[in-house]
């Protein structure tokens, strides 16, 4: 894969040979660099980093692209749901019960 630059030699893709050596030494021969980008995104988003920031690091122009990269594990989804429900439960303990039943303060008589 090469691309000519005006007044210069073509730029050649230098990555395939070193990548083959790394894959051979590390293990799975079917691992692609693109797989690493997906893994990076999934780990970052599962850890609480925003799609916007992760997308900027990856050079994505649209959040939807980054969203497709983020393969969230069930554990991360469950942890999020638990945190959200615990926050809601804690908030409901601080609010007087009457406010759930009526839009009026308890001391207003009709």
**Token code pair at residue 82:** 């638990």
Please tell me the pTM assigned to this model: 0.52
The helix or strand, by DSSP H or E, that contains position 2, with its residue range, turns out to be strand 2-3
Q: Which residues pair with 11 in a beta bridge?
A: 3
Query: What is the model's pLDDT at position 56?
Result: 93
pLDDT in tens, 41-100: 888 888 888 889 999 999 999 988 888 888 777 777 788 788 888 888 888 777 665 555
């Amino acid at each position: 894969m090469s691309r000519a630059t005006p007044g210069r030699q073509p730029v050649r893709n230098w990555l395939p040979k070193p990548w083959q050596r790394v894959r051979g030494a590390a293990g799975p021969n079917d691992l692609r660099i693109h797989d690493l980008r997906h893994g990076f995104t999934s780990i970052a988003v599962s850890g609480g980093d925003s799609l916007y920031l992760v997308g900027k690091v990856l050079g994505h122009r649209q959040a939807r692209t980054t969203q497709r990269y983020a393969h969230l594990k069930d554990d991360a989804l469950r942890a999020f749901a638990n945190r959200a429900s615990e926050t809601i439960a804690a908030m409901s303990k601080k609010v007087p019960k009457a406010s759930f039943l009526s839009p009026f303060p308890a001391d207003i008589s009709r």
